[in-house]
Amino acid sequence: MNELPTPPDEPGVPSESADADSAAAASPVEPEPVAEIEQEIEEIEIAPRVKPEIPGADLIPDIVPEGGDMLHLDAEALAAAEAEAEEARSRDPDREEDTQPIADAAIDLAAGARYRATGKRKTAVARVILKPGTGVYTVNGKTLAEFFPRPTLERVIRQPLETVGYEERMDVVAKLHGGGVSAQAGALRHGISRALIEADPNLRGELKRRGFLTRDPRVKERKKAGLKKARKRPQFSKR
């Protein structure tokens, strides 16, 4: 009897060899023992965390504030700082002289001497009278400290008399109106400076160079039509 040939594997029907391969691939790999994994973890050395020092404590500053200690700077940085200061002085030699009083001021301090002038700043107006005295300021019947509680404004007002070296030899009587305290301080300084010109016209050049005779032209900008203020616009809305 003739044997029938074995039919080929039909498509879609897995064969026995394919079943064996898939079973081998699907079988999971045996995991390593837990003890060996723990031993490997213990062998890895973890560096202990070191608390950092104060940030920047080991750095050498190259800029020292005014009045600071410069002894900790090395010689090279100190020389560089001195060279930079010398260069700044050479660029503006008059800057250091501005702090020195005018030596050639000659003002008549007779008993009846009165020097009057008017100073302005923004909308403030100061009518000033200079007379011989001990350096007392009377502003609208009050002392300078009572009328101007800010030390900064007091220093601004005292600058003209300190510049000419008469801060303890002349009294100031002033009438102020308009503006705020800052504008009134500027107007008072302007008025004192102009009164000093009445006392000694030779002081004009030095006082003008230091900016005491120049009226500050800055004022509040006027409001514009269609705007809320001088430049502030209403919020834009597309819809």
Set out the domains of the chain in order of their start, with CATH numbers. 115-209 (3.30.230.10)
Q: Which residues pair with 175 in a beta bridge?
A: 127
- Whose structure tokens read 């060996």? 36
Contact 196, 164 (CB under 8 A): yes
Mean pLDDT calculated for residue range 85-107: 66
Contact 64, 81 (CB under 8 A): yes
pLDDT, mean over the chain: 79
Contact 124, 176 (CB under 8 A): yes
Query: In the chain, pLDDT over 90 holds for what percent of residues?
Result: 51
pLDDT for 17: 53
Six-digit token pair at 187? 């107007």
pTM of the model: 0.59
Six-digit token pair at 83? 């060279």
Six-digit token pair at 209? 């160079």
- β-pair type (137-139, 170-177): parallel
Q: What is the pLDDT of residues 206-223, one digit of tens each?
A: 999 999 999 999 999 999
Q: Which residues pair with 126 in a beta bridge?
A: 119, 176
Q: What is the pLDDT of residues 163-204, one digit of tens each?
A: 998 999 999 999 999 999 999 999 999 999 999 999 999 999
- Work out the burial of residue 197: count CB atoms within 10 Å of its CB; fewer than 13 is exposed, 13-18 middle, 19 or more buried: middle
pLDDT for 171: 95
In the sheet that holds 124-132, the strands lie side by side as: 115-121, 124-132, 170-177, 137-139, 142-143
User: Which of 36-40, 112-116, 127-131, 211-215 has the lowest average pLDDT?
Assistant: 36-40
Strand (E) or helix (H) holding 91? helix 75-91
Residue 22 has pLDDT above 60, yes or no: no
pLDDT for 221: 95
